Structure 1
Amino acid sequence: MDPASPPEQLSIVHEQVLNSSGRSVTAAVCLHRFLCYGSETSTYTTKECSLGIENALSLMQFIEGGRGCEVVEEVRHLNLEGHTVRSNPSLFALAVCSQHADCKTRQAAFRTLKELCRTPAQLFTFVQYKKELKEGSGMWGRALRRAVTDWYNSQDGMSLAQAVTKCKHRAGWSHQDLLRLSHMKPASDTVALVCKYITKGWKGVQEAYGDKEKSEDLQKVFAYLEAVEKSKHCTDELELIHLIENYRLEKEQILTNHLKFKEVWKALLKEMPVVALMKHLGKLTADKFLARGSPYVAAVCERIQEETALKKAKTHPFNILVASENYKRGHGRRGKLKWEPERDIVEALDCAFGRSLSTVEPTGKRFLVAVDVSSSLSSVAHGSSISTVAIAAAMCMVLTRTEPDTQVVIFSDGAVAPCAKSSDLTLMQVATQFIKTPGGSTDCALPITWASENDKTVDVFIIFTNNQVCGRENPAETLKTYRQKRGVFSKLIVCGMIASGLSIADPEDRGMLDICGFDSRAVDVIRNFVLDVI
């Protein structure tokens, strides 16, 4: 097999299309890139751009070619498999399909809406895209009204009550807007009760249901909404805690003013997912909830490190690193919130990072990770608010612990040097190998040349750099030469961690990817790329 032609694993294949940059590439790859991260190009950037027809040409080609139903199925498949790192491109694609002239395409898009819109925020976003595509006129036809109605009626009353009280409006729309414009007709008594709450408020619910004999399910939803309303006006701390614990109310349903009470936080933390807990550690410390000697510190540390909770959360170690680095910094990115990091919590986060490494599923590929040390790695990465050296070290640890065939090297000024790798090394020890005296120029082709000269067979090259200069050799051409020599379709990922733009990847080559900045989504983009999803 030609090493320059990887096996095609997409359900939509072989078509060619001019993408937004005018380069000829595989249409299926363009479509998957767009659905995954919102751009048809071979560049992922941490900055989310607005979506429009002009940057979704592959999507339009398939739809105009009479293959809209296949596009909808591709949208559905990628979302259900967890390959989309941003939800908006899929919602945009569904909005485009839902108003196409082909009846089957429209029907398929609306049928899929319930599966894709898991939250009210996603439903609101879809409706807003419909508005923008229709330019505000004639969008509320029978099909959209039915689809919105089905979204509300597809949920049981309790789930709907929880959803509408946690997210009331987004993207310029509210539940009240959607119920009015869709001519919503509830399919069950419990959904009808929630709809009454949306349109008439709690007072309307009391008038309609207060003295009415209610079934068990209806009483359950009624009591839940009553608890939400009571929590808004509650002045007694003990009563509020009782409501939170009995009805499992969440932070989004509690007034900000109530979050100053330690016992309220204690009640919220019982049901709070571990990832959300990590995001609130700074505020909890600033508010003295997590003060030295407090019994809450030990309980929180135990939850953070619990392997079962980490596996259930399915959070990547990189997300824990971000939470850890943000906490260690002692202040928020915005505002005046400051805190003195608690030592036990810092240690618990470091432990959680190490334990979470075992939750990453291996790809079975052969990796060469190269870290550019020709310039200082002390800069803050775009999109992450943490240092580039921490990102490079963390990703090296993830790959060496989960992928058995991984080599790590540093390179600078014409030289490449292998790094030590061991399961005993800490993040700080790995990072120390990258903290060299900077000097010389960046040449991203060096690691590929080194692999070739040292008889290394590599499936995926990942290069971390703070520079945007390629050097004397073109990495894309060097990779192509390496492929021919080794007889394998090797891939190249260049992570410009402080770059606002990169142009190293050949846009006509499916096996090359540029990443500008670095965030939690970039981790998933890399995995999708390695596994031939994009």
Structure 2
Amino acid sequence: MEHSGSTMTKHSVKSQPWEVDDKARLCRFLCYGSEGDIYTAREEVHVSMESAEALLALLGDGRGAEVVEDIRRYSQDGRVVSMDPSLFALAVCSQHSDIKTRQAAFKALKEVCQDPGSMFDFIQYKKDLKVDMKSGIWGRALRKAISDWYNGQNAINLAVSVAKCKQRNGWSHQDLLKLSHAKPANDAIALVCKYIMKGWKEVQAEYADKENSEEVLKVLSYMEVIEKVKHSCDETEIINLIEEHSLETEQLRTDHLKSKHVWKALLKDMPLQSLMKRLGKMTSKNILEPGSSDTHAVCDRIQNDTALKKAKIHPFSILVALENYKKGQGFQGKTKWEPDSNIVQAMDSAFYKSLMYLEPLDKNFVLAVDISASLSSIVPGTSVSTAVAAAAITMVFTSTETNTQVLAYSGGSLVPCSVVAGMTLEEVTAELVKSPSESTDCTLPMAWATENGKAVDVFVFLTNNPIWAFSTSPVEALKKHRHKTGTFSKFVMCGLTSIGHTIADTPDRGVLSICGFDLGAITLIRNIAQGLI
């Protein structure tokens, strides 16, 4: 149980846990790119100095090392919706006037930037900041950090990542190696750097007669495969290379992906999440035909326990992919297909199985679902109805958290709602929408918990649109519950279709508004439950 005294921040010993200080604002910024209490699902993140006031304030207070540690921790632990805010914040720290802050930022670079794309984005942020911060970019510290990044990689993994992500944001590996004057730490890294700078022909000429180590030979073999793929127009050769070396779409040319047989070869080792997203396209192009061995194999993979556990795909992501597939056409309507019942059944099975692999938070939750007539729209960016989305979210918590109470609210009263672990998605949806009415009062679940002396860590409200009739404000109801139970309860309002709404203009760290819904919303609910934002 999280009591009011347990979340006091270092910034101000006298502050109350619900007060939004600079540290809380920084954590919000790192998670979703805004210091405010509103998260809009599927919205592109734009970061700038104007949106990072808390970051600058903490740096000004001499807390740079603490800021860098938060950047490292949040990005590594999967607490962020987008990496952009973390990369921007790290770039700011790397150009700050305090030398210890700069040193900490460059030291954290290899942990925060775990792939080339992140590295390229980081460098671009530094370039954008050059004017604002009146400082150069390519100093000795950055050159060393970039060099350390390349030298800190496993050689074969580096070769693979170079082949998959050659450039981004106007930057390439060749640019970074040139500007950093990187000196390879070993022969295998030297080989990859040579390949980046000089190309395959020079690599062949230099390494053909050398006595090479096993690691160098492995990298050479991979490069040879990539070069064959790059120049081959032979469909059979491409298919053989895919099957022998488990190649993915990023390692092929665009024209290779016009072949139905190439796609069939890619199916075997295609990452599970990518496979689920492409089911419609592959069905429309007859790559997956009803009753075929390929379709049967895909269905087996989708619902395989080991594969699901390894892929760590969230049930809500599977649901979105399933509902999009069942719709039978892409969002722009150009691609159409006839959904295969076996694929639908496999995806449905995967949804239920994935519920078992979620990590519990061991918190007391109340899920309050608005079952008014308005719970009948579609969650933006998906083919999922708000009723089904609410049911799926409810199932995520009832399957994972043993201390979860589901309440339905409608009109001026709470409606009995029997949702327990083990129910099907259809059963939960039917339970949630059985008693619709015209208006709702979202303070009812909090009043119920307060009156019954039930200490709740997190109230999660699910509604189609946050327009209510209530006698007292939700924030006041939340404060009353906190006061009576001695718990720093949090309050998350999910307007499943709304854009730009807010609960109240209140400086309360325990209040979060979510517009729309996506996997990022799940991340933020977990974060607020753990006191991370």
Deviation at 1:16, TM superposition (A): 9.8
Contact 1:375 1:467 in 2 (8 A): no
1:26 maps to 21
Distance in 1 between the 2:13 and 2:346 partners?
A: 51
The worse-fitting range, judged by mean Cα deviation, of 523-532 and 73-82 is 73-82
Percent identity over the alignment is 54
Partner of 2:85: 89
Secondary structure at the counterpart of residue 138 of structure 1: coil
Which whole-Å CA distance do the structure 2 matches of 1:331 and 1:207 have between them? 51
SS of the equivalent of 1:232 reads helix
Question: Aligned partner of 2:345: which letter?
Answer: E
How far 1:455 moved relative to its partner?
Answer: 4.7
Equivalent AA in structure 1 for residue 236 of structure 2: L
Kept in 2: contact 1:476–1:506 (CA 8 A) = no
1:37 aligns with 2:32: yes
Partner in structure 1 of residue 488 of structure 2:
489
Q: Partner amino acid for 2:485?
A: R
SS at match of 1:463: strand
Change (3 A) 1:267 1:16: farther
Q: Deviations along 1:494-529, whole A, 9 cap, x unmatched?
A: 001112112215542222111111111111110111
CA distance in 2, matches of 1:283, 1:452: 51
Q: Work out which of the residue numbers 47, 53, 56 in structure 1 matches 2:49.
A: 53
The amino acid across from 1:295 in the alignment is: S
Name the aligned partner's letter for residue 471 of structure 1.
A
Distance in 2 (alpha carbons) for counterparts of 1:88 and 1:533: 18
Aligned to 1:389: 387
Specify the alignment match of 2:463 in structure 1. Answer: 465
1:7 corresponds in structure 2 to: 6
Report the residue type matching 1:31 in the other structure: L
Matches within 5 A, 1:146-225: 146-210=144-208, 212-225=210-223
Give the SS at the match of 1:382. coil
Query: Which SS does the other structure have where 2:439 is aligned?
Result: coil
**Worse-matched range after superposition: 226-235 or 134-143:** 134-143
Distance 1:119 1:190 in 2: 18
Alignment-derived partner of residue 440 in structure 1: 438
Q: Which moved more, 1:316-325 or 1:78-87?
A: 78-87
Shift, 1:122, TM fit: 0.3
Q: Is 1:421–2:419 an aligned residue pair?
A: yes
User: Distance between the aligned counterparts of 2:13 and 2:53, measured in 1?
Assistant: 12
CA distance in 2, matches of 1:332, 1:379: 18
The runs of at least 4 aligned residues of structure 1 exceeding 6 Å deviation read none
Task: Specify the alignment match of 2:115 in structure 1.
Answer: 119
* Pairwise CA distance, 1:284: 1.7
Q: What do residues 231-251 of structure 1 show as CA deviations (whole Å, max 9, x unaligned)?
A: 133232321122122222211
SS of 1:121's partner is helix
Q: Which sits farther off after the overlay, 61-70 or 202-211?
A: 202-211
Q: Shift of the alpha carbon at 1:125?
A: 0.7
Instruction: Please say which of residues 66-75 and 41-50 is displaced more in the overlay.
Output: 41-50
Q: 1:132 to 1:477 in 2, by over 3 A?
A: same
CA contact (8 A) 1:85 1:524 kept: yes
Whether the aligned pair in 2 keeps the contact of 1:41 and 1:507 (CA below 8 Å) is: no
Letter in 2 for 1:36: C
1:503 aligns with 2:498: no
- With structure 1 as the length reference, what TM-score do the two structures score? 0.92
- Determine helix, strand or coil for the equivalent of 2:479: helix
Q: Does 1:108 align with 2:104?
A: yes
Indicate the RMSD between aligned Cα atoms, in angstroms: 2.4
SS of residue paired to 2:182: coil
Q: Which amino acid aligns with 2:491?
A: L
8 Å CA contact retained: 2:494, 2:513: yes
Deviation at residue 79 of structure 1 after TM alignment: 2.6
Assess if the C-alpha contact under 8 Å between 2:2 and 2:457 holds in 1. Answer: no
Q: Is the 8 A contact 2:372 2:433 kept in 1?
A: no
Name the CA distance, whole Å, in 2 between partners of 1:333 and 1:174.
33
**What is the rounded CA distance, in whole Å, between the counterparts of 2:120 and 2:383 in structure 1?**
29
Quickly say closer, same or farther: Cα 1:284–1:2, change in 2 above 3 A.
Answer: closer
1:517 is aligned to 516
Aligned partner letter, 1:193: L
User: 1:266 Cα shift?
Assistant: 3.6
Is the counterpart of residue 98 in structure 1 residue 97 in structure 2? no
Q: How does 1:222-301 map to 2 (within 5 A)?
A: 222-301=220-299
Distance 1:476 1:352 in 2: 38
Contact 2:45–2:82 (CA under 8 A) maintained in structure 1: no
**CA–CA separation in structure 1 for the residues paired with 2:340 and 2:318:** 16
The structure-2 alpha-carbon separation of the partners of 1:154 and 1:334, relative to structure 1 and needing over 3 Å to count, comes to farther
Other-structure match for 1:20: none
Q: Which runs of 5+ in 2 are unaligned?
A: none
Aligned-partner residue type, residue 371 of structure 1: V
Show the counterpart of 1:359.
357
Structure 2 distance, partners of 1:479, 1:205, is 66
Q: Partners in 2 of 1:141 and 1:365 — Cα distance?
A: 47
- AA of the residue aligned to 1:60: L
8 Å contact 1:14–1:28 — kept in the other structure?
Answer: no
User: Residues 15 and 323 (structure 1 numbering): CA distance in 2 closer, same or farther, change over 3 Å?
Assistant: farther
